Chain A
Amino acid sequence: MSWVTKTLSSTLGKKLLMALTGLFLILFLVVHLIGNLQLLLPDNGESFNLYAESMATNPLIKVVSIGNFAFIILHVIYSILLTRHNKKSRPIGYAETAASTNSAWSSRNMGILGTLILIFLLVHLKGFYYEIKFGEVPMVDYAGIMYKNVFAIVAAAYSNVFYVVFYVISMGFLGFHLSHGFASAFQTLGLNHVKYSPLIQKVGIGFSILIPALFALIPIVMYIQSV
């Protein structure tokens, strides 16, 4: 084994990959949210459709999106490897534990939260990414040029109350996952400092509330508009 593979297969190396991919996905959430918020603009979806078109055609975005999928898969694979390793490290468990007295619930259940988010992600990709890329999408005319009316697909999905509830609950899971994951990634990278760590923790909590809440706001508002 070379020193690179040896390092990345150590417990610390695996954690490093979790932290780096996690931080990238955190950045992705921000970019994705900024795009999504255009759904709420009162222009019948024009700016969102133009934005969707530019995202689909920009070569730089294509490269980043391949990286994004790769990082999601890496994050999932390494979480499975680490969970299996960690389970093996304690083959016989305790009859009684008082874990709630020494650690936060979300920190102990990142695997469960991550699995729930993955289920949401698969449904989300099937409903939007796959449909828009490979399904039949209605077209819309803006100044003589035809665009895919992605807004119509989103609006149709968000008029379904079950989908909206599923979306909002999933954002709750995302919030709990981020409430531990954000600051935890910095700790794993070794960035623990008396000056910056309190700030990182506060930003992490703020991020884990604000970002999922704004994501969840969009389907709620669009559902209300649809009825």
Chain B
Amino acid sequence: MQLTLKIWRQKNASDKGGFVTYPVSDVSKDMSFLEMLDVLNENLTEKGEDPVHFDHDCREGICGTCSLYINGKPHGPLQTTTCQLHMRSFSDGQTITIEPWRAKAFPIVKDLVVNRSAFDRIIQAGGYVSVGTGGVPDANEIPIPKTIADLAMDAAQCIGCGACVAACKNASAMLFTSAKVSQLALLPQGQVERKTRAEKMVAQMDAEGFGACTNTGACEAECPKGISITNIARMNREYFSAVVSSENV
């Protein structure tokens, strides 16, 4: 395959940045999108040019490190992570536009790498979960209905890649935050700090400068893990009931 790549290049956070066009050849349809970028970077390194910086780690679709806004969609045309996207999803001779996640809360570090530590701070704001530290409990000592366990697991599938923020026209982090609020609010183990957690995580989400939700559903449609916006409704319930009933003034 022969491709033309239009890639956002930016030296550092304060650089203005701009698009640079690169032709790449010798791309196999079986390559992953990141392997295709590896080919480009090998060529650039051989020529003595600065390779294109992008985030990646496990390349198995489970860590949430890879990103990239490809042809107007986070993680490209399929509902998966960029590392699990293959070049067979593109056609020979195609021009592919690659941009970083765009959000005030995700400042660009270099090229396509953005700083997503705002997500870490939202999770940190949620705080700890109180657990008994006595003797070893028996397995399945706490009864949890299968449907509830499934919902909690569905929410816990979020890998924190930030595609929801990238897809949202308002750069809102509500799908991410709601998944993290939900996974603990649903389970008996999460009840002790339930109200405070919802209040603090929402406050941190706002403090990071993420936008508000317009319920377009773009986040759910683009989420590589299929996190549902029912979690956002749950977070709203959790938050509103927490603020009216908690002891936090």
A interface, CB within 8 angstroms of B: 2-3, 7, 10-12, 14-16, 82, 85-86, 88-99, 101-104, 107-108, 110, 180, 183-184, 187-192, 197
Contact = CB atoms under 8 A, between A and B. Distances in A.
B211 interface: yes
B213 A96 contact: no
Contacts of A12: 202, 212, 235-236, 239-240
A10 B206 contact: yes
Looking at B202, B211, B237, B238, the one whose CB has the most chain A CB atoms below 10 A away is B211
Contact of B72 (A10, A11, A97, A189): A97
Interface residues of B, number: 49
Nearest to A92: B102
B240 A107 contact: no
B22 interface: no
B53 interface: no
B221 interface: yes
A190 B181 CA distance: 14
B234 interface: yes
Interface in B1-26: 6, 8, 19
Contacts of A101: 73, 221
A187 B232 CA distance: 8
Contact of B69 (A3, A94, A187, A188): A94
Contacts of A188: 213, 215, 233, 236
A95 B209 contact: no
A11 B213 contact: yes
Given A85-B212, A187-B215, A102 B240 contact: no
Contacts of B171: 86, 89-90
Contacts of A110: 214
A98 B115 CA distance: 24
A90 B99 contact: no
B45 interface: no
A10 B203 contact: yes
B172 interface: yes
A107 B215 contact: yes
Looking at A85, A90, A103, A104, the one whose CB has the most chain B CB atoms below 10 A away is A90
Contacts of A14: 212
Contacts of B73: 98, 101-102
B29 interface: no
Given A11-B212, A86-B171, A3 B217 contact: no
Contacts of B239: 12
B97 A96 contact: yes
Given A11-B211, A99-B72, A90 B233 contact: no
Interface in B93-120: 97, 99, 102-105
A99 B71 CA distance: 11
Given A89-B171, A96-B99, A188-B236, A11 B243 contact: no
A89 B216 contact: no
Contacts of B249: 2-3
B4 to A, nearest CB: 14
A180 B215 contact: yes
A7 B248 CA distance: 12
Contacts of B174: 11
B47 to A, nearest CB: 25
Given A102-B221, A107-B214, A191 B170 contact: no
Contacts of A85: 211-212
24 contacts: A10-B202, A11-B172, A11-B210, A11-B211, A11-B212, A12-B212, A12-B236, A15-B212, A86-B172, A88-B104, A94-B69, A94-B72, A95-B8, A97-B72, A102-B167, A103-B218, A107-B217, A108-B214, A110-B214, A184-B214, A188-B215, A190-B236, A192-B232, A192-B233
A86 B169 contact: yes
Contacts of B218: 99, 102-103
B161 to A, nearest CB: 16
A89 B172 contact: yes
B97 A95 contact: yes
Contact of A88 (B71, B209, B232): B209
Contacts of A15: 212-213, 236
Nearest to B16: A92
A90 B230 contact: no
Interface in B59-78: 69, 71-73
